[in-house]
Chains A and B, each alone.
Chain A
Amino acid sequence: METVLTTHFADERYRHVDTYVQYGGYSALRKAFSCPKERIVEEVRKANLRGRGGAGFPAGVKWGFLPKDLSRPRILVINADEGEPGTFKDRQIMSRGPHLLIEGIAIASYAMTIHSTYIYIRGEFVREAKIMEEAVAEAYAKGFLGKNILGSGFHLDVYVHRGAGAYICGEETSLINSLEGKRGWPRIKPPFPASVGAFGLPTIVNNVETIADVPWIVNNGGEKFASLGVEKNGGTRLIGVSGPVNRPGVYELSAGVLLREVIYTHAGGLKDGKQLKAVIPGGSSTPVLRPDEIDVTFDIESMGKIGTMPGSGGVIVIPEGACMVRALSVLMNFYAHESCGQCTPCREGTGWLAKIVGRIENGQGREGDIELILDVCDNMMGRTICPLADAAVMPAQSFIWKFREEFDRHIADKKCPFGNKF
């Protein structure tokens, strides 16, 4: 299959500008400078490039939301926060192909008439931040960033900005507050970042993978990119598979790949010949699937039809013998820990979910606890400033709807049938 991003990832030197250029890197940037800006945005639109950060918003459409008036400078922010449990793909791009991202930034910035870009990278990625800093410095030295890039008259500055440990800062308005040096509290929308974003300026926030796809689109055309995927989901996706499989890792695959093939063909199936019990398809916030639901393609619409989503492409494989209540308890503790606390339904709700699921796992569940969980979920869904509350509700509801008998058994037996461990 044709690959867009990972083609040269096996070459250790690909992270350096000279090797990147030897493989044809920065040719898309040259080409972009000879195109009208609207044409680039049009190609990205035709590419059906859907945001890879989780929500899947079409990138070309988002870029069109910037105000037409150029009197206020605009900003591009790259979301490299990669905090959604099960997701580890942007780290690969940044450590193995940082210039893909930088070239994508330069093209996107040129197309949108942007002169400053911030790469907001999660604080724990110290090594990746260093690699990105070095790659940015190389790009400046070669004239791919800075003043009068490649003689085009276009100028662009790119800065790497480190976060400091907070999942919520992956949410775009929280990320903007964090970039501004504030607590990472999500903002009430509207205004949307495209009109009032970072430093009060019109801002576009895109995921690392989304922007890294842009050079290929410029080189090969939007239609070609679209044809690598399926209807409305252009291109390839970096799909990360984790959990007890034989070959965990990141795979670049068409959105037309079946989830079954991702798990069994690419990731080599489950370790020790175990059976599959459940799979979370797109990062911890996406509704869980049963083994009889995995003949689904990895695109937003097909996954939507069965009530879930491909999210950030983080497939978490749960084997037979693993306790679903314990698994949910791990996730609920996570959301309770990461709620920023601004909205009462989220602050209180995530706390309650963690507490109730935790007591069921510990054999102290009470009759009616399952209904209580579903009630708490109803009081959270869609009632908050940002989607973190929904992100906690989706696993909670789906785990119960699909694996209810395990929850019932914990409560009836007053103990975890799996012995409180994985």
Chain B
Amino acid sequence: MSVAFSDTARRELEEILSRYPNKEAAILPALHLAQREFGYVSDEAIVHVAELLGFTPARIEGVASFYTMYNRKPVGRYHLQICRNLSCSLLGAEHLIEHVSKKLRINPGETTPDGKFTLSKVECLGSCGTAPVMQVNDDYHENLTEEKIDSLLDRLP
């Protein structure tokens, strides 16, 4: 099934293209747009970005697969990304990952059957002074405790 950018996304892409000396440099921003538009970077999204920018899908795929933020598979409505690096680990990140894993009954890398949550372990989020840290979609949640996570997860619609 083919997919296409909304008019808004198309206009944004036009503006993005004006920032660079060539179309290639718009690949990363276009993939960010695709992820926002379609929820993840599907094969169809890759084909669409390739058409919009005039590259082969293989070329776009090669770029997309290099970067961890582009989800090549669908993720839940809330993507829980808990930092597993050193400063966070020293302050209990491992326990938090286990806690969320038990609470949602999924392993890191998995999505709940209702499609609400995906749990991932990620590397340093550049927020080590407020460890432990979890990124949920675009937002950082800092100085986490089990209680804070519980109340956040219970609150999310």
Q: Could you list which residues of chain A lie within 8 angstroms of chain B, going by C-beta atoms?
A: 82-88, 90-91, 122-127, 157, 159, 161-167, 178-184, 199, 240-244, 248-250, 280, 284, 314, 316-319, 322, 326-327, 330-331, 334, 337-338, 421-422
Contacts and interface: CB of A to CB of B under 8 A. Distances in A.
Contacts of A124: 69, 125-126, 135
B128 A316 contact: yes
A276 B126 CA distance: 23
Nearest to A201: B21
A257 B54 CA distance: 54
Contacts of A165: 67-70
3 smallest CB-CB distances across A and B, nearest first, come from A165-B69, A164-B67, A165-B68
A82 B95 CA distance: 26
B114 interface: no
Nearest to B23: A181
A86 B90 contact: no
28 contacts: A82-B126, A85-B86, A85-B123, A86-B128, A88-B129, A90-B126, A125-B126, A127-B139, A162-B29, A164-B28, A164-B67, A180-B24, A181-B25, A181-B27, A181-B28, A183-B63, A184-B67, A240-B128, A248-B130, A250-B129, A280-B86, A316-B86, A316-B87, A326-B89, A327-B86, A330-B89, A421-B95, A422-B90
Contacts of A318: 90
Interface of B: 19-22, 24-29, 31-32, 62-63, 66-70, 84-87, 89-92, 94-95, 123-131, 135, 138-140
Contact of A248 (B85, B131, B138): B131
A167 B123 contact: yes
B28 A178 contact: yes
Nearest to B91: A244
Contacts of A87: 124, 126, 128
A159 B126 contact: no
A284 B66 contact: no
Contacts of A249: 129
A337 B122 CA distance: 10
A411 B32 CA distance: 46
Contacts of B138: 126-127
Contact of A166 (B26, B32, B62, B67): B67
Nearest to A84: B124
Contacts of B123: 83, 85, 167, 334, 337-338
A123 B66 CA distance: 13
Contacts of B135: 124
Given A87-B124, A123-B32, A123-B67, 11 more contacts: A83-B124, A84-B124, A85-B85, A86-B128, A122-B126, A161-B29, A164-B32, A180-B25, A184-B66, A326-B89, A422-B92
A242 B26 contact: no
